[in-house]
Structure 1
């Protein structure tokens, strides 16, 4: 498996690509393929987070927080209208950072599942 295998992930940015390559640097080709398969299933694409956040501006706020397994914040956003819409706007601006933080946790969990 070459170093370009992670580049095929939709919406991946340079920082995430470099971080994944460093995380899997010592993996064998087989383990890297298994990691990629697990990580693809857990990873959230930044544009999906943005779309769900924008839906929260006109509909049910907090959907993007539920997608990122932040159930408590999702309920809070839902009950307060996205913290009076301000929280939803801030999240819409920072959607890439939110997706990156979630994906970093997903990568660490995926590596832990492999036991490496």
Structure 2
């Protein structure tokens, strides 16, 4: 497995790609492949977060927070209409950052599952 296997992930950005390569630098090819399989299942695409934010502007606010496993904020957004729509707009603008923070945690959890 080469160093560019992570570039096959949909919607991956350069920062995430470099971070994943650095995280798995000392992994064997087999462990890197196992890590990629686990991480692929946990990773959230930034476009999914953006779409859910936009749905929150016209429908049920906070869906994107539930997807990001931020249940408390999801309930708060749902009950307050996305914090009077302002919070949903801010999250739509920052959707890449929200996805990156979630994906970073997912990568560390995936590495921990492998025991590496």
Provide TM-score, normalisation by structure 2: 1.00
Find the aligned partners of 2:8 and 2:102 in 1 and give their Cα distance: 19
The total of aligned residue pairs comes to 116
Q: 5+ unaligned residues in a row in structure 2: which ranges?
A: none
Question: Residue deviations 1:36-63, cap 9 Å, x none?
Answer: 0000000000000000010000000000
> In structure 1, how many angstroms separate the alpha carbons of the residues matched to 2:11 and 2:74?
24
Q: After TM superposition, list the pairs within 5 Å mapping 1:67-106 onto structure 2.
A: 67-106=67-106
Aligned equivalent of 1:39: 39
Deviation of residue 89 (structure 1)? Answer: 0.1
Q: Which stretches in structure 1 are left out of the alignment for 5+ residues?
A: none
Aligned to 2:9: 9
Query: TM-score, normalised to structure 1's length?
Result: 1.00
The alpha carbon displacement at 1:4 in A equals 1.0
Shift in Å, 1:29:
0.2
Distance 1:66 1:42 in 2: 14
| CA distances 1:58-109 after superposition (whole Å, capped 9, x unpaired) | 0000000000000000000000000000000000000000000000000000
Give the 4+ runs in structure 1 shifted more than 6 A. Answer: none
Partner residue, 1:114: 114
**Which residue in 2 is equivalent to 1:66?**
66
Matches within 5 A, 1:43-58: 43-58=43-58
CA RMSD for the aligned pairs?
0.3
Structure 1 Cα separation of the partners of residues 3 and 23 of structure 2: 12
